[in-house]
């Protein structure tokens, strides 16, 4: 989907239930939040979440995150669209669990994964009001967005990195590639740059940027026109955003605020050469 170029965009990486950091990042970028409602009347900024706003956090923070996003999605999009959300692999997987997707074979390993990596699923199974909100949001998620400012400057947004041949395409395979890249958990010990070599091989010295999340990193990782902004909020690091203003790109972050327990992980760093 193409984005109107007369707005400024705050593009936020993987939230994973970091509701306090999400609010802090919005406030840091000029939004006011009154009793959970974002006031966007003071500016022409639009919010974009890059997907994976659920899972990994505590049940209470996940509930608060879904409710905040749901409420503000409808609040901000009343007159024109000012809030966009991309589909991440976590939204997709939780959707498959809670909608009892017949193509999802339920094995003991699956149930273990559901508990361990997709903890929003059991929360939604117990809370039908929250489940309905999630399902409603899920129907509105985009797979890709593109800000096409000029022949010299554009930004394409996806949840996961992908090869250029799939970027901003609307067939089933391309959609899957933009939502999830090669699995790191199934390829432990493989360097990320070897697992997804296309991302540095296809990088170019131009201003046609591809910004993605998905690959929890210790900081914003940039190589030529390829940029990862998932800076591992739920892992105790920070929540980051890219700001698109006309033909300028900038970035900022808020640190993890310790309002919930962080999750531990070992970094596999992108563009580590």
- Footprint on this chain of Mn ion (rule: CB under 5 A): 52, 88-89, 214
- The DSSP bridge partners found for residue 254 are 239
Residue closer to Mn ion (CB basis): 89 or 232:
89
Shortest spacing between CB 211 and Mn ion, in angstroms: 14
Closest by Cα among 68, 238, 41 to 137: 68
Rounded Cα distance between 114 and 126, Å, is 14
- Secondary structure of 61-120 in the HEC alphabet? HHHHHHHHHHHHHHHHCCCCCCEEEECCHHHHHHHHHHCCCCCCCCCHHHHHHHHHHCCH
Q: Of 86 and 123, which CB lies nearer to Mn ion in the complex structure?
A: 86
CB of 160 to Mn ion, least distance (A): 6
Shortest gap between Cβ of 39 and Mn ion (angstroms)? 30
Q: How far is it, in rounded angstroms, from Cα 70 to Cα 18?
A: 15
Supply the minimum distance, in Å, between the C-beta of residue 37 and Mn ion. 28
CA dihedral 142, 175, 160, 15 (to 10 degrees): 30
CB of 213 to Mn ion, least distance (A): 7
Q: Is the separation of the CB atoms in 244 and 155 below 8 Å?
A: yes
Q: Please give the residue whose beta carbon sits closest to Mn ion in the complex.
A: 214
Nearer Cβ to Mn ion (20/52): 52
Instruction: Tell me whether residue 17 or residue 88 sits nearer to Mn ion (CB atom).
Output: 88
């Amino acid at each position: 989907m193409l984005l109107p170029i007369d707005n400024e965009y705050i593009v936020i990486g993987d939230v994973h239930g970091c509701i306090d950091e999400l609010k802090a990042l919005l406030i840091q970028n000029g939004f006011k939040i009154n009793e959970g409602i974002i006031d966007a009347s003071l500016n022409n900024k639009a919010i974009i979440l890059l997907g994976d706003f659920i899972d990994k956090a505590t049940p209470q923070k996940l509930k608060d995150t879904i409710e905040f996003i749901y409420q503000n999605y409808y609040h901000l999009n009343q007159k024109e669209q000012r809030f966009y959300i991309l589909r991440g692999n976590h939204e997709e997987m939780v959707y498959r669990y809670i909608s009892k997707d017949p193509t999802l074979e339920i094995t003991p390993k699956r149930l273990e994964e559901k508990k361990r990596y997709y903890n929003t699923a059991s929360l939604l199974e117990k809370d039908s009001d929250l489940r309905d909100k999630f399902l409603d949001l899920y129907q509105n998620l985009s797979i890709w967005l593109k800000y096409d400012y000029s022949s010299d400057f554009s930004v394409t947004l996806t949840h996961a990195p992908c090869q250029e041949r799939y970027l901003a395409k609307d067939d089933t395979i391309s959609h899957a590639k933009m939502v999830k890249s090669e699995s790191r958990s199934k390829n432990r010990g493989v360097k990320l740059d070897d697992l997804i070599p296309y991302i540095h091989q296809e990088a170019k010295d131009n201003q046609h940027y591809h910004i993605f999340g998905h690959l929890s990193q210790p900081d914003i990782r940039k190589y030529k026109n390829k940029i990862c902004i998932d800076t591992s909020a739920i892992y105790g690091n920070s929540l980051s955003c890219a700001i698109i203003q006309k033909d300028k790109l900038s970035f900022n972050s808020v640190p993890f605020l310790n309002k919930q327990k962080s999750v531990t992980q070992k970094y596999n760093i992108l563009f580590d050469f």
